[in-house]
């Protein structure tokens, strides 16, 4: 993935700043180390599709909720 944006190591990343939307957190529902999607959009923040990493699995809703709770707890200010 030399030409693509690297994948995030966590399910929740940010804060992401936008002039239009303010400050927000991003949620990455992809398995760590793999980008599996039915599309391969050239403008995707996660880069192009990659071969599935060994042992890759989709994060559960509980894992996403836990990551989001941790990110909100350590944020210096709440997102917009």
DSSP H/E element including 15: strand 12-18
Q: What tens-digit pLDDT sequence spans the chain (80 residues)?
A: 344 445 567 788 878 888 888 888 888 887 777 777 777 787 776 677 777 677 778 889 999 999 899 988 988 888 88
* Residues shown for the chain: 80
* CA angle centred on 11, ends 29 and 72, rounded to 5°: 125
What pLDDT does 65 receive? 94
Confidence (pTM): 0.66
CA atoms within 13 A on the CB side of 58: 5
Q: What is the pLDDT of residue 63?
A: 92
């Amino acid at each position: 993935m030399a030409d693509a944006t690297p994948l995030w190591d966590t399910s929740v990343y940010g804060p992401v700043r936008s002039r239009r939307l303010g400050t927000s957190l991003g949620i990455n529902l992809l398995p760590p180390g793999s980008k599996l999607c039915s599309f391969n959009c050239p403008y995707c923040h996660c880069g192009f599709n990659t071969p599935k990493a060994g042992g890759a699995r989709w994060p559960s809703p509980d894992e996403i909720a836990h990551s989001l709770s941790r990110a909100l707890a350590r944020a210096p200010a709440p997102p917009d």
